[in-house]
Structure 1
Amino acid sequence: MVSFFNVVQLYTAYYPIIMTIVWIMGSWVSGLMTNRAMIKDDSQVKVTVLLAMFNEEYTISMALNSLSCLTYENFDVVIVDDKSEDESVTIVMRWMTAHPTIKMRLIQLPKNLGKAAALNEAIKVIHADFVLATDADATLAPDSIQQLLARVTNDHIGAVTGKPIVRNRTTLLGRLQALEYVVIIDRIKRAQDSLYGGIMTVAGVISLYRTDALRDVGGFDSAAITEDIDITWRLKKNNWHVHYNPKALVYILVPETLKGFFKQRIRWSVGGLEVLLKNISWSWKQGFSAQTLLLLDMCFSHIWAWFYVMTMTSFIITSFATRTFSLPGVIIFLYVLLFIIMFIQGIRQDEKQSHLSKRDLFELPFYSIFYWSTALMTAIISQFVVIFSKNSNGKWTSPDRGR
């Protein structure tokens, strides 16, 4: 029993250290690859920007304005309204009238179907080579299409995702997420793409799909709680590659209340766990591969969450029983050192894309703790949700978005 708890304690302490080293090394490799990448002249490739909306009257105008600033020439826009109950449709129609040079089509669904089903309805009428899916509360960078296409280096690539940048930082939670996206989430995606040959999931807010690939897998799964994670793995199962380009930018709104934040992150974690359960058997049958490593990575994180709970419980009981309180100095030193290295790397590779301010950097001492604490709580909660929930669904909910 003692040996088992020793293993638990070692795993709890060293898992974050090992993963941080993997992220740092993978991001370094990714930086070498990204710096060599050149934007190709793909102006003849037709791209349809696809945007599904439901009750987006406060954000849709900004999203549409960003489309008018896109520098790529050969694109059109398809907006599918999933039976909004506010003024979203009126705003879109007014915008279309004011911008006649933008090729845009509005599809109004007769009833609410959910985001994935709404996207599938739009895909039926799209004839472009590629589909760039984005959200009604996001603004695309002017060169986002070119950057995404630059990562489509062969006919086996089914999707490429870009880098979200948090634009609402009026609260501590918003600024913490801004640092998280720059320093941690970008590290993870870079490492997955460079070391595993593909990423765990596309970002639903900026993903370029090959239209043939979408139709090959039957579009999005309307029953999936996270359609972006699900579509990533269905593409992989059909031998399509999925990659990441950190130079393709999109500016997003993130939750600014703890309730909204944890609701979003638990949904992400549940979606990832559902995908893990669906694909672990298939992955093992294919033999050891990059997909297996990605799924094992997810398994290890869920195991770590429970080991951490066990270790902390034991630590608290022992501390009270012996009336002593001591922390492992070497482990803490490694945490701090890797934290500093990862932060410096993240800021350098960001190249001021995220426009971090001095105010954002005041949250520097907290962001790593913030990330791992969030991962811990959402991993455990999502396991209970998956076990006790009868079924998932892809219905729309009204998210918490800062302004």
Structure 2
Amino acid sequence: MWYQDILDWLLGFAFYYPLFMAYLWMAGALYFYFSKEQNEPLYNAPPVLPEYPHVSVLVPCFNEGDNAYETIGALLQLNYPHYDIIAINDGSSDNTADIINDIASKHAKVKAVQLASNQGKAMALTMGAMLSSSEYLVCIDGDAVLDPNCITWMVRHFISSSRVGAVTGNPRIRNRSTMLGKLQVGEFSSVIGLIKRAQRVYGRVFTVSGVVAAFRKSALHEVGYWSTNMVTEDIDISWKMQTNYYDVRYEPNALCWILMPETLKGLWKQRVRWAQGGAEVLLKFKNIFLNVKKRRMWPVYAELVVSIIWAYVMCAIFLLWGLGKFVDLPSSLYIKTIIPEWNGVLLAMTCLLQFALSLFIDSRYEPKIRRYYYWMIWYPMLFWLLSAATTIVGLPAALIKDRNKRATWTSPDRGIHQNRTNP
């Protein structure tokens, strides 16, 4: 019957989509690694540049009293000859304002900017960019610790081509003593890092990392800086850059040590925001297929659409399985079990292969990262379900959102303080 065909299609799609994408990402990442990465010097031995243009490091802060000294202190130790630091306090309710004022009073490199009320990260970044006299801006979060050589690795891309509008760095997880922390170490390697490498090979990058990215100021000015009404300003600025024909590159040697949620509640809030941000970009750039000049963004758009469809297909499968426990469904709609069979074993083996490949690549930057391979066996069970669930919640949130409302800050879960690993 026709609905049996539909069910078969749903089950097949739920299985073959992640399988296909896993091998697509692995192939692209391998090409990137062998063609662009393998023969590079290590991240702690940056290349000698023909020039070292002045760079401004923008640090937007909202309630970063616990992290500001550490973050800005690390910035003062950068191995780059010409830079300054602009710390923007976006109406924090804690002692962030006093801390950045104190640092600025002691270090000539640091400028403190105080915004009277919470205007959102996009506005804080735009204000910092406006106050900077530099053509190149490195933007990091107020709880991040930048590697001393990060700026040099990023600036080389801007020097190499005037069409480079942004460079995204390589975030590394600091808090990794809990299970969620360990899983995210592997996730940033096997999913986020792997995908960014592959996307650079295939054409366009879905998004820069909001926690560490560099920008050409003239390109930012051309595209109108960061959008204050988008819940994820990093995704939006990436699409604005690339739809205006600027190149966005990935630099794996540009390391930045970051804090991530270590509670399910904090992780859920973060991923819902990411999912909503992706959906908002789909809605904003829905006319992208009308312009053939923007065709290099078409695969990125299409993949995001398909990933959202996959989330809803997974939801439908679970609903049918659950309903079958309480309602007499037609045999053609009855799903006996969601426990993986042979196809699940194949998918699991593919995941393990992807995790092994990505951790091998990333061991270049963290030699001991392969020890987290064991923890990644739990990743599909937790994070795939989390991804599907947050996508289901994020899409309606994007659809009903007031487009004129400014996106402001909330204080995220940054993990357990004593669980942090010093870079």
Equivalent position to 1:175, from 171, 175, 182: 182
Whether contact under 8 Å (2:77, 2:148) holds in the other structure is yes
1:89–1:317 Cα change, 3 Å: closer
Distance 1:354 1:41 in 2: 25
Whether contact under 8 Å (1:176, 1:367) holds in the other structure is yes
Per-residue CA deviation, residues 286-331 of structure 1 (Å, 9 max, x unaligned), is: 2672200001010000101111122333445568878965856431
Distance 1:10 1:138 in 2: 41
Length, aligned pairs only: 400
1:92 matched residue in structure 2 = 100
Q: Which runs of 5+ in 2 are unaligned?
A: 42-46, 418-423
Equivalent residue letter for 1:34: E
Whether contact under 8 Å (2:243, 2:297) holds in the other structure is no
Equivalent position to 1:234, from 224, 240, 247: 240
Distance 2:381 2:21 in 1: 15
SS at match of 1:49: strand
Distance 2:229 2:284 in 1: 13
1:34 matched residue in structure 2 = 37
SS at match of 1:261: helix
Query: Could you tell me the percent identity over the aligned residues?
Result: 30
Distance 1:342 1:301 in 2: 18
Q: Which moved more, 1:171-180 or 1:18-27?
A: 171-180
Distance 2:337 2:101 in 1: 64
Per-residue CA deviation, residues 108-153 of structure 1 (Å, 9 max, x unaligned), is: 2233322111221121121212000111100001111111123333
SS at match of 2:397: helix
Distance 2:103 2:338 in 1: 62
Distance 2:394 2:115 in 1: 32
Q: Which runs of 5+ in 1 are unaligned?
A: none
2:358 matched residue in structure 1 = 346
1:394–1:5 Cα change, 3 Å: same
Per-residue CA deviation, residues 57-92 of structure 1 (Å, 9 max, x unaligned), is: 101111012102211111111111212232212222
Whether contact under 8 Å (1:200, 1:294) holds in the other structure is yes
Per-residue CA deviation, residues 253-283 of structure 1 (Å, 9 max, x unaligned), is: 0011111111111111101100011113124
1:358–1:248 Cα change, 3 Å: closer
1:268 matched residue in structure 2 = 274
1:351 Cα shift? Answer: 2.1
2:286 matched residue in structure 1 = 280
SS at match of 1:280: coil
Equivalent residue letter for 2:387: A
1:368 matched residue in structure 2 = 380
1:97-176 alignment runs, 5 A limit: 97-100=105-108, 103-152=109-158, 153-176=160-183
Whether contact under 8 Å (2:15, 2:347) holds in the other structure is no
2:91 matched residue in structure 1 = 83
1:146–1:358 Cα change, 3 Å: closer
1:398–1:317 Cα change, 3 Å: closer
1:233 Cα shift? Answer: 0.9
1:34–1:289 Cα change, 3 Å: farther
2:44 matched residue in structure 1 = none
Matched, 1:252 2:265: no
Q: Which moved more, 1:204-213 or 1:148-157?
A: 148-157
Whether contact under 8 Å (1:280, 1:292) holds in the other structure is no
SS at match of 2:285: helix
1:198 Cα shift? Answer: 2.2
Q: CA RMSD in A?
A: 2.3
Distance 2:380 2:7 in 1: 26
Equivalent position to 1:386, from 386, 398, 408: 398
Per-residue CA deviation, residues 203-262 of structure 1 (Å, 9 max, x unaligned), is: 111111001011111111111111111111111222111111111110000011111111
Equivalent position to 2:346, from 330, 334, 339: 334
SS at match of 1:69: coil
1:48 matched residue in structure 2 = 56
1:120–1:327 Cα change, 3 Å: closer
TM-score (normalizing by structure 2): 0.88
SS at match of 1:163: strand
2:421 matched residue in structure 1 = none
Whether contact under 8 Å (1:206, 1:250) holds in the other structure is yes
